[in-house]
Amino acid sequence: MDASAPASRRTLLRVATAATVGGALAATPLPAFAKSARCPLPRTLSVTAPGLYPEGVAWDPTRKAFLVGSSAQGTISVVRADGSVTPLVAPFAQVSVLGITVDAPRRRVLAAYTDYFFRMMGIIDPSLPPVSGVGVFDLATGAVRHLVDVSDGQPLPRANDLTVDRNGTIHVTDTGVDTVTTVSRDGEVLKVLRDDRFATADTGPNGIVQHPAGFLLMGRYEGGRLFRIDRPCSARPKVSEVRLDGAPASLDGMALRPDGSLVVVSNDLSLSGGRQSPDAVLVLRSTDGWRTARTVQRQTWPHEDPTTVTVTPYGDYVVSGGLREILTGVPSTTPGTFHLRRR
């Protein structure tokens, strides 16, 4: 993204962040849909919430509802099956809340946040140190438990996505400085993992998931490369690239399904040089412990610019939050509306 961003982009973020949370989250409920004991969620939720622009989504089993972040307001909100949106985490800084995940055993919601977009649009004083971190919030109340700085002294850090292991340890990717940072359950930075294969002049490490076997799967956005990270909490983690039968142009958000398959989202929001690629959702499967993987399903996505996916008891839901409007100033085809659609 060019630092001399058009005024339209700067205006979009200013308007979004200046709006009151209650006003910005006002949502138009969907028409009534047929409920069933089997699936209480519609195939598609098209939610009117001007200024929200969610990039991340997570399923909250305690509420049986979605949680979404906000790229423009620095909030986390609850989205219910009727399309209503209510605030959970109030703005805690002038940041974008990107990837989010629910740590239900510890009653926490975790979020990756960054002021990168505001900084690139000239909204934040460049002399101020960058803000990039992990937010740990109470799942029931949204109260702040920890705000953990993971900027690591870098000039343009961009915390993007995160996952949590069975012990409550958090792993967060940074697409700007090409790292994976490990944070303890109590909010202490334990280590920063770098690898030459993560590095790119464009958008780097992005989606990340914890595998039940103890390793991480992490996708590098640029080039659609997938990595397996063994012993991520040890002094010497082992990084190996997963050989894919056909890498997509990009790997954005991802989610691991109970059957062991990996759902990944691909878009062209951050491809360099104006390259274009179809929006798609892919399902990858491995039979050798994620040393190799093959694509078993590929869907061209009907809603523009999908960014990530969450697994629910009722199917896998992909969010399309209208981020292109912020990144380019080009109005969305459905302004003020974001979509959650079951694949």
- What residue has token string 């209480």? 40
The Cα–Cα gap between 29 and 48 comes to 8
The span from the first CA to the last CA of the chain, in angstroms, equals 30
According to the model, what pLDDT value does residue 302 have? Answer: 97
Intervals of the chain under pLDDT 50: 1-5, 20-37
Question: What are the angstrom distances between the C-alpha of 194 and each of 139, 163, 173, 188, 217?
Answer: 31, 17, 11, 18, 15
Res 7: pLDDT: 57
Helix, strand, or coil here: 327?
helix
How far is the C-alpha of 310 from the C-alpha of 131, rounded, in Å?
26
Query: Which whole-number Å values give the CA distances from 10 to 16, 92, 218, 271, 301, in the listed order?
Result: 10, 20, 31, 21, 28
Q: What would the DSSP string read from start to end of 224-271?
A: TEEEEEESTTSSS-EEEEEEESS--SB---EEE-TTS-EEEEE-STT-
Count of C-beta atoms within a 10 Å radius of residue 313: 12
Q: How far apart are CA 290 and CA 149, in angstroms?
A: 31
What's the confidence (pLDDT) of residue 25?
40
- CA–CA separation, 231 and 229 (whole Å): 7
Token match 């490990």: residue?
182
What local confidence, expressed as pLDDT, does residue 235 receive? 93
Which of 201, 22, 183, 194 lies closest to 112, judged by CA? 183
Distance from chain centroid for Cα 73: 15
Q: How many residues does the chain have?
A: 343
DSSP class of residue 197 equals G
Question: Do 163 and 171 form a contact (C-beta atoms < 8 A)?
Answer: yes
CA–CA separation, 9 and 280 (whole Å): 26
